[in-house]
């Protein structure tokens, strides 16, 4: 238990708001438990202990399933547990506050759809053979949520039948229809309307009077719960579908919300696990190796000073060369080294003349990132100055950074990097251009956005290794610095020139 509490604290501290929320809710639960001890309500004490255990569930799942629950989703889970167990059961909100149970069942439908969506989405993104369409994925998420809702109604019914509870709340109705009252037993429903009072007589002689109508035992409550569960599941399923399709009038803000509701896979060190999809027609490394062994065809390679000679295919004739039209083909890909962000491969390439060569290839695990051109209200462009160890000197650059995950929208990346590196923000981002860092040997791409105008939001949120200062210049001054060679960073040069060209066209 102590292990999971330490793990939870470390994970929660990564997001201060979630940590504060968790701390406050846990303190309230402890206070409530002490109060229940004083009033000798030991059932309430048990519910409080259960709530404290349920608070550990997100961290337990993250640690054992190697997933990462986003802070917003995690916060909603904590609030749901507190509202259902402490406010609902201990403080009697279910009976004293109309609609409390309905609200929680709606949220439950939404949350369970999010869980189902995340489970299938993880499989969809990290499986080599399964690729479900957005519509099918959201349909499965919806069905998962409804299944959980139905199972919960089974639990409520069992609690009422076998444990003397009243989990399926009763409704007073003024009319009903029943074939039981048909004296002819012909399956004709007899309608009883305008019921004013129901009197119940027990075998022990007790009498119960229900004023205002007839007591419906749980059926309407069950149907109402399933209906609102349906609504919650449908809302998230539509939300998830739009997220997968990247729709919406404001993709940056929309995708940022979506990212906070989708569970991601992580490795044992807590880093996101991303896959680099193999393009259609390209063999997977293992499959390519097996094909090469089976065919007996190979090439001349040199590894660590050892030369391996294998049979070469005959050189193509002129007709074959003419048909190829200068086409390269990748036969195999071997992972040489794996880093935190980049993976280094050796590609076995077949040239148009039939010869084979080993080419270097660098794969960016998250397929790159985003860059933003922040324009201040006075028309100047905000830049950052930082030391770059790779070239051994300081550079003047536009704010930029890598995506947090393979599927993250680059507009979300751009907005986050702008806020973290400069402390500024912007309500709307406009795409300017897309760059490929090095088309010959790397698949990294950078999307450049225009943020105009930017406004101060807070302070910089820099990593421990970052030392960044802010500077601002007019567009013309930046053009001169580019021409003089002072600014050489490719994304910064491209972003500024693209902005100048857009201004000229306007």
Residues carrying an active site annotation = 464
Residue 387 in contact with residue 467, Cβ under 8 Å?
yes
Rounded to an integer, what distance in angstroms lies between the CA atom of residue 257 and that of residue 418?
A: 17
Residue 452 in contact with residue 378, Cβ under 8 Å?
no
Residue 261 in contact with residue 73, Cβ under 8 Å?
yes
Tokens of 413: 């990346």
Rounded to an integer, what distance in angstroms lies between the CA atom of residue 37 and that of residue 303?
A: 72
Rounded to an integer, what distance in angstroms lies between the CA atom of residue 482 and that of residue 488?
A: 7
Residues across the chain: 506
Q: What ranges make up the beta strands (E) of 375-486?
A: 381-388, 393-397, 400-402, 424-425, 429-436, 445-451, 455-456, 469-473
Rounded to an integer, what distance in angstroms lies between the CA atom of residue 139 and that of residue 149?
A: 15
Residue 339 in contact with residue 361, Cβ under 8 Å?
no
Residue 411 in contact with residue 251, Cβ under 8 Å?
yes
Reduced to 3 states (helix: H, G, I; strand: E, B; else coil), residue 204 is coil
Tokens of 490: 């490719």
**Angle in degrees, CA 484, 504, 457, rounded to 5:** 80
410-422 and 251-259 helices, crossing angle to 10°: 90
Q: What ranges make up the beta strands (E) of 122-278?
A: 171-173, 176-178, 190-192, 197-201, 207-211, 214-216, 264-265
Q: What are phi and psi of 23, to 5 degrees?
A: -65, -45
Rounded to an integer, what distance in angstroms lies between the CA atom of residue 485 and that of residue 498?
A: 17
The secondary structure of 264-277 as a DSSP string is EEB-TTSPBP---P
How far apart, in Å, are the Cα atoms of 503 and each of 427, 432, 453, 500?
20, 12, 14, 5
Rounded to an integer, what distance in angstroms lies between the CA atom of residue 240 and that of residue 234?
A: 10
Residue 82 in contact with residue 28, Cβ under 8 Å?
yes
Residue 363 in contact with residue 346, Cβ under 8 Å?
no
Burial class from Cβ neighbours inside 10 Å (0-12, 13-18, 19+) for residue 464 reads exposed
Q: Which residues contact 300 (CB under 8 A, 6 or more apart)?
A: 307, 308, 309, 310, 312, 356
């Amino acid at each position: 238990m102590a292990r999971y509490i330490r793990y939870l604290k470390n994970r929660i501290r990564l997001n201060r708001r979630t940590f504060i929320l968790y701390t406050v809710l846990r303190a309230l639960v402890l206070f409530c438990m002490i109060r229940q001890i004083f009033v000798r309500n030991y059932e309430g004490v048990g519910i409080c202990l259960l709530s404290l255990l349920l608070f550990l569930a997100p961290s337990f799942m993250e640690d054992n399933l190697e997933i990462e629950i986003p802070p917003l989703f995690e916060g909603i889970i904590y609030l749901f547990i507190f509202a259902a167990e402490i406010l609902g059961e201990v403080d009697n909100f279910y009976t004293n506050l109309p609609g409390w149970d309905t609200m929680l069942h709606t949220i439950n439908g939404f949350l369970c759809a999010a869980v189902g969506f995340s489970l299938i989405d993880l499989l969809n993104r990290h499986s080599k053979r399964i690729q479900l369409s957005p519509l099918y994925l959201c349909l499965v998420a919806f069905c998962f949520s409804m299944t959980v809702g139905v199972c919960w109604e089974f639990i409520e019914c069992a609690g009422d039948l076998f444990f003397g509870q009243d989990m399926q709340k009763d409704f007073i109705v003024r009319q009903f229809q029943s074939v039981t009252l048909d004296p002819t037993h012909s399956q004709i429903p007899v309608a009883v309307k305008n019921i004013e009072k129901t009197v119940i007589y027990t075998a022990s002689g007790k009498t119960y009077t229900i004023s205002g109508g007839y007591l419906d035992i749980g059926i309407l409550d069950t149907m109402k719960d399933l209906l609102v569960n349906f609504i919650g599941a449908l809302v998230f399923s539509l939300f998830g579908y739009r997220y997968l399709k990247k729709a919406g009038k404001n993709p940056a803000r929309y995708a940022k919300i979506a990212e906070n509701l989708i569970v991601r896979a992580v490795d044992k060190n807590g880093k996101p696990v991303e896959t680099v999809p193999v393009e259609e027609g390209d063999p997977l490394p293992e499959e390519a190796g097996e094909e090469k062994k089976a065919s007996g065809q190979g090439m001349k390679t040199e590894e660590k000073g050892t030369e391996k000679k294998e049979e070469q295919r005959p050189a193509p004739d002129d007709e074959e060369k003419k048909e190829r039209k200068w086409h390269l083909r990748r036969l195999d890909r071997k992972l040489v080294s794996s880093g935190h962000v980049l993976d280094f491969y050796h590609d076995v390439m077949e040239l148009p003349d039939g010869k084979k060569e080993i080419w270097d290839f660098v794969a960016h695990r998250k397929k790159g990132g985003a860059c933003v051109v922040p324009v201040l209200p006075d028309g100047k462009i905000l830049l950052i100055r930082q030391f770059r160890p790779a070239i051994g000197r300081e550079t003047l650059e536009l704010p930029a950074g890598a995506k947090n995950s393979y599927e993250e929208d680059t507009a979300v990346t751009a907005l986050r990097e702008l806020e973290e590196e400069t402390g500024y923000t912007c309500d709307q981002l406009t795409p300017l251009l897309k760059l490929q860092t090095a088309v010959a040997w790397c698949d990294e791409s950078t999307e450049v956005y225009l943020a105009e105008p930017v406004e101060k939001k807070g302070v910089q949120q820099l990593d421990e290794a970052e030392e960044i200062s802010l500077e601002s210049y007019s567009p013309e001054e930046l053009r001169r610095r580019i021409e003089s060679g002072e600014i050489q960073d490719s994304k910064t040069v491209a972003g500024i020139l693209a902005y100048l060209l857009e201004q000229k066209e306007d």
